[in-house]
Each structure stands twice: as structure tokens, then as C-alpha cells.
Amino acid sequence: MHFELTKDFLDDISTAVAERNTAFVNENISELHPVDIAQILDQVNQQEAQFIYRQLDGELSSSVLVELEEDIREQFLASLSAKEIAFQLDSIDSDDAADIIQDLPEYRIQRVLSHIEDDEHSGEISKLLEYDEDTAGGLMAAEYIVTNINWTIEQSLKELRIQAEETSYVYTIYVVNDENQLLGTLSLKSFLYADNKTKIKDLYRIDPIAVTPLTTAEEVAQLMEKYDLVAIPVVDYENHLVGRITIDDIVDVIKEEAEKDFQMASGISERVDDRDSVLILTRARLPWLLVGLFGGILGSLVIGSFDEQLKVLPVLAFFIPLIGAMGGNVGVQSSAIIVQAIANNSLSLDSTSKKIIKELGVALINGSVLGSLIFAYTFITGSAIKLSLTISISLFCVIVFAGIFGTLIPLILNKRNIDPALATGPFITTMNDIIGQLIYFSIAWFFFF
Amino acid sequence: MHFELTKDFLDDISTAVAERNTAFVNENISELHPVDIAQILDQVNQQEAQFIYRQLDGELSSSVLVELEEDIREQFLASLSAKEIAFQLDSIDSDDAADIIQDLPEYRIQRVLSHIEDDEHSGEISKLLEYDEDTAGGLMAAEYIVTNINWTIEQSLKELRIQAEETSYVYTIYVVNDENQLLGTLSLKSFLYADNKTKIKDLYRIDPIAVTPLTTAEEVAQLMEKYDLVAIPVVDYENHLVGRITIDDIVDVIKEEAEKDFQMASGISERVDDRDSVLILTRARLPWLLVGLFGGILGSLVIGSFDEQLKVLPVLAFFIPLIGAMGGNVGVQSSAIIVQAIANNSLSLDSTSKKIIKELGVALINGSVLGSLIFAYTFITGSAIKLSLTISISLFCVIVFAGIFGTLIPLILNKRNIDPALATGPFITTMNDIIGQLIYFSIAWFFFF
């Protein structure tokens, strides 16, 4: 039913390109959705991509350009003249156009903009380029549909037809006054349903949900998600309507935020995927491994300081991995719950001490269950009662400590405006591992020495 | 600018409810967005929530009901009669109505449906209830806007005005033939822009992207995300239009999918948040801790089998946490990259052996860097060269093994249709910890004994 890129199809493409078979491209690729074509170009090699791209006609090639992955798009832009790029930007929304050229060198951006025929369009793109990518300004499009509060439905319809020509999607109609200040929205439903003579002012809904160009992308995402919006208006500090952000751009933000937390929790320090090069993948993975190495050395010093005890009682070493792993697991669990609540803006309004008491409750249950189990196991398999007690009490203490520590650290980081996701993954595992060994050997020392 | 729920406001609400102060509710709560009201009801206690809810008027209380969290909603429904519930469902879309009553006992559902005045509406709700929550059928609404290919814009407009009355949002107009088979879509833009006499058949776009009621929610999310859709039509096996799914429901699916992977990687076995009770939180956390406990016991058996060596060379124990932690970290990193690529449907089309070779590249670099560092550290701090070699070579081997193991396991799980996210988190950490110790002590045995 839907296009699915297969290895076989990629092989066919390679063969066709090698034979300069333009008919193949026209029959099998040009008919696809721009998103699918972009996916093909992302997967084939550079020469093949260039060959295919040159067969696509004007509007289609612009749409494909919007959908390409950044690194592939840069290769394409490098092979096009400023005039050719400008031609591609003519038919697409200002926000997509700004995205496409934003990473070009400044002099090239200026040259591209000077080649765009419609001055209003190039002006809008140029304005959008001033905003940071991660803000509402960087996400918004300057194209939107607007009507005046003093008009009738009939007058509006005429105006909207003109505006619609420039806007690729229509979701919400914004209602402004004569100064272009946002007053509310008009749903398409009420528009369709209303009589021609009805005045907009009798029909529109006062709707205060808007953001400014400097609102962070994350905050925009939280608002749109919370209120189930498909589009959100952007206003300046005097409430003049300057743009709108649509949900498709925000879905990407929502997804990236969630993935960032996942990668952080997995010890990966930059956004990578399995198609990246070995070097990029290594660069993303080595930093947290170095933290782990450092933690491992600290751990060796902790255990090393109990050298004498280990010589007398080498059986203590057997349970080092258990203590380390459980501390790490419990810490990751408790911090993950806090990190996710912060990311979702759904953290309970309870005080920190109430949160800690709750975590204490969980830790006491988990600690009792797991401590009893390991006591039973060691006792049944013939360990001395003192050893069984050492291991089970240590495990209990480590679980309680790691749970509270894992809850506190992300809360503290968040208060200091540091990304709390830093607290999940390798950091918390490493810390709890070390402190866990300290607890374990201290309790052993207490029982035996 | 936007409503932000604070602890102070919650305190004011408690006081007002204790004083039966209905004026407070009408002035400060009834004016809020239904989403914000639902958020308040989710946070206050049950009596307070009931009191506030009873002050809301008809349509508002329905909208709030849609937005409530499931457990709170169940409490509300329990306190309402079937007739009262039916009254709430009258004014909302069929998909939201079905969501609200789906967890009620079967006899109560039937009673609620029998009280809904509009037979068509109750029929639609009843049909939607047959589908699983996690399928397109469970997500779709039966309300949509449709036009016939043989009509003109003018005829369509008349029909659409009638349809719009029942549909809360209008995004896309679907085009069908006389048999209600889906042919394509008409953008609102082209609708606004077109002349009254234009025929739909000259204006519509053939658009093959549709799903069936049995398509999984995950697949629907992938399609909508990939093609930047705000709504997707649902058709039966003979291509009859049966419903549409809107992006707001899918944003929740996308978010839940990403969060599920994050929680799985953090060793949490069901969807929880920090406001859940101690018992629910424990239930979500204990299972993976039991796996960890079992792994720790296995680890103790592995190390225990090298009992003699440890007695002779207790310094070996110092580096047990380092080996365990690094194996765990590397395994989580490599499996996370694969799991995320699978979740995004962006796994490269390279063969498994090519993927392993790439991971081998990363592991060889990381292993060499970290192995050299630990060699330098142990050598400088005065360890015997044989010991330094043992530790650094073990670390290198563990990193290579864990990287490949972490890549392979999610690929294998995915091929067997098991959720690959199972492979991240505690499972891979525990496995790599145990195997890491085996590698470490075997190499030590080789060097020293």
C-alpha cells in the first residue's frame, strides 16, 4: 500500500544510474512522494543522488530538497549555483526555505536571497534566518491565513482566496484588528458553517494561546502537545502576528527531545544513528566511557583500601558485581522516573521531601524483597550467617541509598538549570557503583573485623 | 501568558472547596481551558475534584472528561449514572466517547449507549469499541468531512456545512465516489481558492496514503510522521472510507513509543510516572531488579569458580567493578543505537555482517583508547606489568565483545518479532557484566597460572 524502500530497489537504481537510464528514474522514482524520493537520495551514493535529482522537475525537486537529511542536502547545495538555489526556494514556504539555506556561508545566503524574484518572500526568509533554530522564530513560517475582525464572512473569503495561494496548508484562520494584533482564531468549521453576511466579530473565538519568536522549541512543543494544537500563532511583544508554527515541525521536536533523553540514558553524548560513520559513532560514545573508566579506577581504589579484608575473606569479592549492578539499576530507575516527569512537564507539585519519602517507600519494599532473597540464597548454599547478613544488609542499604540518590540528583540539576537527563545513564550508574562498594565493604568490616 | 498550575493555586482551591465556595470555582476555574481544568482535577483529591466538576456546565464538563487521566476518570464515571454519562458523550467526537467508556463493564457500556439520543452517534461509538486501542480502528473518529467526485464546489460547500456541524476539526476533505470508496483528498487551500462552478474531479489530488482499521498505532504514527500528515483516512479492505485519525492522537502515540523505549532502557517494566502510588512504582521496578539479582548470583558463581586465583592475587578483585561497568556501558550504547533505528524505521539496509563490522570498528577504537589508558594508569601506579596487561587486555576484549553482543541481540529480537527495546537496559548490562568477569578471570588465569 505504501512505498517501502528495499535493498533490491536500491540495487536496481544503481544499475539504472550506471547505464544512465533516465527512463527508469522517470517511471519509478519521479512518481513517488517527495519524502520517499528524499529517502532514496539519502541512501544511494553521491553521484547516483545527483543523477536522480537532476531528472526531477522544478517543484518536485524543491520539495525533495526540503526533506533531505542535512549532510546530503549540503552536498547538493554545493553543486548548485546561487541562482539555481534561489529558483528552488521560490515555490516553498519561508520556514522551509530558511532551513535549507541557513547553514550556507553568509555571502552565499545573500547571493541566494538576491536571486529570489519575489521580494516579499526573500524578505521573510531573511527575517527568519535571524532566529535561532531552537526557538519559535526559527520554526515559524511567515505564511498564514488571517482575517480582520471587522469583516464579514464574504469579505474574508475573498481575502482568504488570495492568501491561500501563498500558503501550503490551511489549518486555522487568525483574527486580527486593523493593527495586525492577534485577537483570536476562527475555526474552519465555523467558517464553513456560517452565513455569508455574518461578521467575523460575532463568530471568532478569543484564544490567548500564542508564543513569541524567542520561546524555546521545547516550550512550543509542550504547549501544542498539551492543548492538542495543529498550529500555534507567533506574536511579537506588542502582540502583532508575525508567523505560525505547524504541528509537523513540532512532531520532530517532540521526537528529538524524547530521543535525546533515551540517548543520554544510554551513555551517548550526541545525536547519532546507525548510518553514521565509525568516527562519528565513536565520538558520541567515547566521552561517557571515559567517565566509566574514571569511575572504575575510583572503584578499584575503594576496594583496594579494603585489601587486608579481601585477603582474609576472598569470598567478599564474589558479590562485588551484584552490589554494583543493583546500585546502578536502582539509581537509573529512580532518576529515569524524575527525568521523564520533568521532560513532560508533569512532575508532581509535592515538595522534594515528599518525593524522597515516596522513593523511600519503594526502596524499602524492593530492598526488603531482594535482601531477603539474597539472604535465603547465600544461607541455603552454605555461607556463614555473618556473610549472608553482610551481603543482604549491604544490598538493602545500597538499594535505599541508590533510590534516594537517583531521585535527588535530577531534581538538583533541574533546579540549577542543567539538563536533568545527565543524571540518568552512566553518571548515576558509576556513582552508585562506587558508593555501593564502599557501603558493602564497610558493612563487612563492621561484621568481621 | 499561559496557565501554569502552582502549589499556591491548589491550596486556594482546597480552601474554597472546604468552604463550598462555588463563586471561586466559577470565577477562577470554569474560565480555563478544559486541558487545564483536567490537570487541576488530576491533582486535587477526589472530593475536591467531584465538587469542582459538578460546577462545570454541560459541554465544558464533557471536554474536561476527555482530558482527564484514566484512573481519575474512572472514579468520576463510577459516581455518574448511565444516563448522565450518555449526556456527556452527546457533544463529543465518537473516538473520544469510545475512549471514555471503553473500560466500563460491558453491561454498563450497553446502558450508556442506549441512553445516547442520536442513534447514528451511538452506533459509531459502539463500532469503534470493537477495535483494539492500539490499532487505527481504536484511534479513528467516525466524523470526517467528505465530498463526492461528481459534485461542484458549490454543491460540496452546502454538504460540508451540514457535515461540519458534527465534526470538531476540519483538516482535510476526503473525496469519494458514489460507493463511498476513497479516491483522494481536496486541500482546504484548493477549496478556498477554487471557483464555485469548478468540479471536484478537476481539483482533487489522488492520494493513496490510507490505513486500515487493523493497522497498528505504531505504523500509523510512522506514516503520519514520515509524510507530515495532520490527518490520515482509514479505509476497509474494499477501500470504503470508514474514519480518520488526527495528529493530536498520534502525537500521544509517538510520545508513548519513545517513552516506552526510555523506560525499558531504564529497567522499568510498565508505564509509570512520579505521581503513581508506591505500590504501582514498586511493581514497575521490581521485575528487572529480580533479573539483576539473578545476574548478580550468576556473577558470584563465575568469580567463585576462580576462588583459588583470587586467594593468590586478591588485587584482581579491585578491577571487578571496572570490567563489569564498561561491559554494561558499551552494551547499552550499541544496543540503544540499534533499538532507536528500529523504532524510527530508519535502520540502514546494510546486511547484519556489515553492521557488525562497523560496530567492530567503533569497538576497536574505543577498546584501544580505554585499554591504553588503563594500562598506563596501572603501570604508573606501580602494578606488575603482567597485571597491567591482564587488566588492559581484558578491558579491550570486554569492550569488543559487549559492542558486538549489544548490536546483535536487538537485531535478533526484532527478527523474531520481540520488542528489541528489551535488549537495552538491565538485560544487556547484566549479561555483559557476567561475561565480562568470565573474560577477565580467564585472561588472568592465562597470564598468571
| Bridge-based pairing state of the strands B146-148 and B172-176 | parallel
B194 or A443, which is more confident? A443
The rounded distance, in Å, linking the Cα atoms of B362 and B342 is 20
Q: Are the CB atoms for B313 and B448 separated by under 8 Å?
A: yes
pLDDT confidence of B156, banded at 50, 70, 90? confident
pLDDT for B317 beyond 90 = yes
Average pLDDT, chain B: 88
Show residues of chain A in contact with B336, CB under 8 Å.
262-263, 266-268
pLDDT for B208 beyond 90 = no
CB distance A318–B304 less than 8 Å?
yes
pLDDT at B197: 85
A23 SS3 class: helix
pLDDT confidence of B154, banded at 50, 70, 90? confident
* Nearest residue in A to B311, CA atom: A314
Residue at A227 is within a domain = yes
Q: Are residues A125 and A151 in the same domain?
A: no
pLDDT at A368: 96
The last residue of one of the domains, among B203, B228, B246, is B246
Least confident interval from A155-159, A212-216, A395-399, B236-240: A155-159
pLDDT confidence of B1, banded at 50, 70, 90? low
pLDDT at A155: 87
pLDDT at B342: 85
Residue at A2 is within a domain = no
Q: What is the CATH number of the domain that holds A59?
A: 1.25.60.10
Please list, in sequence order, all residues whose beta carbon lies within 8 angstroms of the beta carbon of residue A418, skipping any fewer than 6 positions away.
none
Q: Are residues A293 and A407 in the same domain?
A: yes
Q: In the sheet that A172-176 helps form, which strands lie side by side, from edge to edge?
A: A146-148, A172-176, A182-187, A205-206
- What does the block give as the cell for B440? 577477565
Q: Are the CB atoms for A366 and B282 separated by under 8 Å?
A: yes
The rounded distance, in Å, linking the Cα atoms of B439 and A158 is 76
ipTM over 0.90: no
The rounded distance, in Å, linking the Cα atoms of B421 and B418 is 9
Q: Are residues A314 and A410 in the same domain?
A: yes
Within 13 Å of residue A36, how many CA atoms lie on the same side as its CB? Answer: 15
CB distance A286–B7 less than 8 Å?
no
The rounded distance, in Å, linking the Cα atoms of B409 and A350 is 40
- pLDDT winner (highest mean) among A179-188, A263-272, A285-294, B369-378: B369-378
Within 13 Å of residue B111, how many CA atoms lie on the same side as its CB? Answer: 11
pLDDT at A447: 87
* Nearest residue in B to A336, CA atom: B266
Show residues of chain A in contact with B295, CB under 8 Å.
321-322, 325
Helices (H), ranges, B277-351 = 278-304, 307-312, 320-343
pLDDT for A11 beyond 60 = yes
| Bridge-based pairing state of the strands A146-148 and A172-176 | parallel
pLDDT tens track for B294-313: 999 999 999 999 988 888 88
- As a whole number of Å, the end-to-end CA separation of chain A is 72
Q: Are residues A52 and A198 in the same domain?
A: no
Q: Are the CB atoms for A213 and B188 separated by under 8 Å?
A: no
Give me the DSSP letters along A45-70. -HHHHHHHHHHS-HHHHHHHHHHS-H
Residue at B385 is within a domain = yes
pLDDT confidence of B190, banded at 50, 70, 90? confident
Residue at B140 is within a domain = no
B313 SS3 class: coil
pLDDT for B161 beyond 80 = no
CB-nearest partner of A321 from B2, B282, B296: B296
Give the domain range for residue B12.
Answer: 7-135
Q: Are residues B187 and B236 in the same domain?
A: yes
pLDDT for B42 beyond 70 = yes
| Bridge-based pairing state of the strands A231-235 and A241-246 | antiparallel
Within 13 Å of residue B50, how many CA atoms lie on the same side as its CB? Answer: 11
pLDDT for A1 beyond 60 = no
The rounded distance, in Å, linking the Cα atoms of B144 and B51 is 36
The rounded distance, in Å, linking the Cα atoms of B7 and B328 is 41
Mutation to test the A interface, candidates B285, B351, B373, most A Cβ within 10 Å: B285
* Distance in Å, alpha carbon of A111 to nearest chain B alpha carbon: 31
User: How far apart, in Å, are the Cα atoms of A273 and each of A290, B260, B297, B348, B384?
Assistant: 21, 19, 35, 9, 41
Give me the DSSP letters along B131-164. S-TTBHHHH-BS---EEETTSBHHHHHHHHHHHH
Percentage of chain B with pLDDT > 90? 37
Q: Are the CB atoms for A53 and A25 separated by under 8 Å?
A: no
Q: Each residue of A390-402: b (16+ CB within 10 Å) or e?
A: bbbbbbbbbbbbb
Q: Are residues A288 and A229 in the same domain?
A: no
Q: Are residues A99 and A192 in the same domain?
A: no
pLDDT tens track for B98-151: 989 988 899 999 999 999 988 888 988 998 899 988 899 999 988 888 899 999
pLDDT for B7 beyond 60 = yes
B160 or A164, which is more confident? B160
Q: Are residues A167 and A228 in the same domain?
A: yes
Show residues of chain A in contact with B344, CB under 8 Å.
273
pLDDT for A208 beyond 90 = no
pLDDT for B391 beyond 90 = yes
Q: Are residues B212 and B361 in the same domain?
A: no
pLDDT confidence of A330, banded at 50, 70, 90? very high
Q: Are residues B343 and B396 in the same domain?
A: yes
pLDDT for B166 beyond 70 = no
Q: What is the CATH number of the domain that holds A381?
A: 1.10.357.20
Q: Are residues B23 and B100 in the same domain?
A: yes
Under DSSP, the state recorded for A420 is: G
Alpha carbon A175 to its chain centroid, in Å, reads 32
pLDDT at A361: 93
Question: Which amino acid is residue A359, in one-letter code?
Answer: E
pLDDT confidence of B330, banded at 50, 70, 90? very high
Mutation to test the B interface, candidates A228, A260, A347, A387, most B Cβ within 10 Å: A228
Percentage of chain A with pLDDT > 70? 98
Average pLDDT over residues B232-238: 93
Show residues of chain B in contact with A290, CB under 8 Å.
370, 373
Average pLDDT over residues A6-17: 88
CB distance B187–A169 less than 8 Å?
yes
pLDDT for A210 beyond 80 = yes
pLDDT at A57: 84
Q: Each residue of B252-291: b (16+ CB within 10 Å) or e?
A: ebbbbbbbbbbbbbbbbbeebbbbbebebbbbbbbebbeb
Q: What is the CATH number of the domain that holds A231?
A: 3.10.580.10
pLDDT confidence of B75, banded at 50, 70, 90? confident
Q: Is B384 left (phi over 0), alpha (psi -120 to 50) or beta?
A: beta
Residue at B253 is within a domain = no
The rounded distance, in Å, linking the Cα atoms of B392 and B396 is 6
The last residue of one of the domains, among B246, B263, B294, is B246
pLDDT at A303: 93
The rounded distance, in Å, linking the Cα atoms of B192 and B177 is 22
Average pLDDT, chain A: 88
pLDDT confidence of B54, banded at 50, 70, 90? confident
Q: How many domains does chain A have?
A: 3
Please list, in sequence order, all residues whose beta carbon lies within 8 angstroms of the beta carbon of residue A110, skipping any fewer than 6 positions away.
none
The rounded distance, in Å, linking the Cα atoms of B436 and B442 is 10
Q: Are residues B335 and B406 in the same domain?
A: yes
- What does the block give as the cell for B401? 565483545
pLDDT for B177 beyond 80 = yes
Alpha carbon A116 to its chain centroid, in Å, reads 33
pLDDT at B30: 87
pLDDT for A412 beyond 80 = yes
A1 or A234, which is more confident? A234
Closest CA to B157 of B120, B192, B115: B192
A164 or B52, which is more confident? B52
Q: What is the pTM of this model?
A: 0.80
Burial of residue A247, with CB atoms counted within 10 A of its CB: 0-12 exposed, 13-18 middle, 19 or more buried: buried
Average pLDDT over residues A337-347: 83
Residue at A1 is within a domain = no
pLDDT for A190 beyond 70 = yes
Residue at B260 is within a domain = no
pLDDT tens track for B353-388: 888 999 999 999 999 999 999 999 999 998 889 999
B240 SS3 class: strand
Q: Are the CB atoms for A208 and B226 separated by under 8 Å?
A: no
The last residue of one of the domains, among A228, A246, A264, is A246
Residue at B130 is within a domain = yes
pLDDT at B169: 67
pLDDT confidence of A167, banded at 50, 70, 90? low
Q: Residue B152 forms beta bridges with which residues?
A: B199
